[in-house]
Amino acid sequence: MRSTVGTRRCHPFARWKRHRAGVPAALALLALVFATPCPAHGRHVDDGHISEDTLTMAAVPKSVEVGTKDPKFPVWPLYEGRKIVGYLFRTNDLVDIPGFAGTPINLLIAMDSQGVFMDVKLIHQNEPVFVNGIGTEPLLSFLQQYKGKSIRSNIKVAAPHETVDKEGGINTYVDGISRASASVRIINETILNAALKVAREKMADQLPRETARPAPQTVRPMTWRQLVDKGYIRHLKLTNGAVESAFAGTRFAGIDPEVADNPDKAYIDLYFAQINVPSIGRNILDENTWRRLEDKVGDTNEAIILMSNGPKSFKGEDFVPGAVPDTLSVRQGKFPINLRNQVLDITFQAGVPQFLEAEVYMIDRRSGFDPSVPWRLMLRIPRSRGYFLEEGTSRDFSADYSLPANLFVWPSTGPDRPWLAAWKTRKWEIGLLAVALAALSFGLARQDWLTRRRGLLAWSRPLFLAFVLVFVGWYAQGQLSIVTILGLVKLARAGGDLTFLLYDPISLLLWLYVLATLAIWARGPFCGWLCPYGAMQELVSKVATFARLRPLRLGEPARRRLALVKYGVLAFLVAGALVVPDSAERLAEVEPFKTAITLEFHREWPYVVYALALTLGSALVYKGFCQFLCPLGALLSLSAFLRHHRWLPRRADCGKPCQICRIRCEYGAITRTGSIRYAECVQCLDCVAILHDPSRCVPLRLEKEGKSLRRIPTREATP
């Protein structure tokens, strides 16, 4: 019979195993090589520590002199002689609209005193599609389109391959970027919202500085007729004759015979109102529709409803649900306000007239719209002629709208809390995460209940890990990282507050949970259950086991030595954050989290190769990165040295002489004596399940048979 030792010598990876001790260190070195600084594409101005001279000269014509920064409002005035001709400002100082990487796009904008963009420059962006995808050149070309355009225009982003009327339409369009449509729309919102804030603050009497909100008072019942009589619902009725006369004297007059021959008939019969004002909405919408509308509006929008009986549609021929309309606009003062269609099933109360069309449109409050200030609804009616060389024109019709001040409340002068919007808009994600954390807490606290039920742990753990990978990691972007710790180190060094943590509610809740459970279960809840990348590694290992790929097992001395590497990586990163703080994020690329989870492997190839090597390497070395390289795991494992209790049950025969749990522990957290090294334990509960399973726990099986394990030879069992 071939001996066990002989079998191991014939292992096909035996030669590789003699050098395996250097593999994690080599991977760490490879990570640090990839983390070295690369050319900063798309960063015309360094957004870390920049001089004011560099900032003020970045986007200003040579004929313009830049003044000193306004001490009360984050802008630099632009002078010609002694006259202010415009302002220079950074978008990050004014708005906080996160992109797909979770951070805002920071732009430097020069705008003249009439609201015309002089230039838009890129300071910093971290959008995955530009950073490691199509590059930044398309983005720089996109920004050039804003030169000469006015914030008084409705600047919209045209989708790639979309044909739009860029001059004659109610909107002014800039060309989008293929494969980056969502990102450039975020950039457009960032530019316009920041510019409008400057216009409201520095261009006197253009827009109100305070913004009111609908008062949530008790609603007095009113009929449709009463609402119309009070002016809460406005009426715009156009006859065919009125429309035809607007085109009189042009080549487009009379091209619609039905309109021209019936001048007294209605062309459009339109009613409109600000529907999220409770005194209006709750009197015409049924309760379910009102509740759905409230959820859609939230704290960042206002809503307008348009209702029509035609015969012509106010939506236009190219209407797309959920999109920006081409035939409708709102103007307040001299500024246009963006409208966006909101898909909503509308049911009216009894007594409200029946309409052929009814649509709700949202207005982003961040654009500066104030519902208490009069505004004007603009309806554009287009006409076109010709087949092969089509030409067109349009005419605008408008109706004024205003509501009494008693329907509104004004914000207090207390501090603004913009981070609350992130929590309110992610309520269902927060709720689902809370349920998952409660379930995990129950399972860890009731280990016996979870592990005594045969097979329950075996199927529930992979499902939970899949949930963590897909929902927490890829969808909710809740991958905790050493980057946050390095940020805190830099913050402690330079001073500041922790407000930035509030803008990412998912990550903050995970951090709070991990910190709260450190004293109870050490690193186990995060490293074993809540880390999306750790879940990915473990699922790869399970697939490899299913495919009968034999993993490599490290001896206990080698494993202990290699486990120290992660503490060295942690010390190196913390030292780097203190000595060279600007390089901290690049050094943290030793973590493959950004590549594998945040960007879903959509990065430059060296990062992808590195992340794939570590991920697929889990098929051979179980969670190799977690065991030997992870700096965050190293930091969390330090809590185990402060523990005062042993929460995993053990038997007197564990390690003396039974070695089943030690051999089955993929993480190598159980010593030959049967004790558990809690600094390495990830709380997978496999050893607890073995402890309660007579088919796997030798002492338990022999105890039931009335035998003693100590009479059995103490030779190690083979897994």
**Bridge partners (DSSP) listed for residue 654:** 658
Please give the single-letter amino acid code of residue 706: G
- Angle (CA) 596-602-603 rounded to 5° is 90
Before 699, cis peptide (omega within 30)? no
Structure-token pair, residue 88: 């220079």
Query: Which DSSP string do the residues of 244-303 spell out, in sequence order?
Result: HHHTTTSTTTT--HHHHH-TTSEEEEEEEEETTSHHHHHHHB-HHHHHHHHHHHTTTEEE
Rounded distance, CA 526 to CA 282, Å? 46
User: Bigger pLDDT: 139 or 421?
Assistant: 139
pLDDT in tens, 390-434: 787 888 899 999 999 888 887 544 334 545 656 776 789 899 999
Sheet containing strand 391-401, edge to edge, reads 335-337, 328-332, 375-385, 391-401
Band of residue 503 on the pLDDT scale cut at 50, 70, 90: low
pLDDT in tens, 78-102: 888 888 888 999 988 888 776 544 4
**Contact status, residue 690 vs residue 674, Cβ threshold 8 Å:** no
Residue 661 has what pLDDT? 82
Q: Among 79-83, 226-230, 493-497, whose mean pLDDT is lowest? A: 493-497
Rounded distance, CA 253 to CA 516, Å? 74
Q: Considering Cα of 602, then 604, then 609, then 610, what sign does the dihedral take?
A: negative
User: Bigger pLDDT: 585 or 16?
Assistant: 585
Please give the single-letter amino acid code of residue 532: P
Residue 286 has what pLDDT? 93
pLDDT in tens, 158-202: 755 445 544 444 557 788 775 555 577 778 878 888 988 898 888
Residue 21 has what pLDDT? 42
pLDDT above 90: percentage of residues in the chain: 23
Residue 38 has pLDDT above 60, yes or no: no
Q: What is the mean pLDDT of residues 470-487?
A: 86
Give me the chain's average pLDDT, please.
78
Q: Which of 639-648, 657-666, 706-715 has the highest mean pLDDT?
A: 657-666
User: What 8-state DSSP symbol labels residue 662?
Assistant: H
Q: What is the mean pLDDT of residues 666-684?
A: 81
Structure-token pair, residue 101: 């990487």
Rounded distance, CA 44 to CA 37, Å? 16
pLDDT in tens, 235-252: 999 999 999 999 988 888
Coil, helix or strand at residue 534: helix
Longest pairwise C-alpha distance within the chain: 111
Rounded distance, CA 324 to CA 589, Å? 40
Coil, helix or strand at residue 363: strand
pLDDT in tens, 530-589: 999 999 999 998 898 888 888 787 777 888 888 889 999 999 988 888 888 767 767 888
Residue 633 has pLDDT above 60, yes or no: yes
pLDDT in tens, 344-384: 999 999 999 999 999 999 988 767 788 888 999 999 888 88
Band of residue 42 on the pLDDT scale cut at 50, 70, 90: very low
Residue 35 has what pLDDT? 41
Query: Which DSSP string do the residues of 594-647 spell out, in sequence order?
Result: IIIIISTT-S-HHHHHHHHHHHHHTTTSTTHHHHHT-HHHHHHHGGGGG-----
For 86, phi then psi, to 5°, come to 170, -170
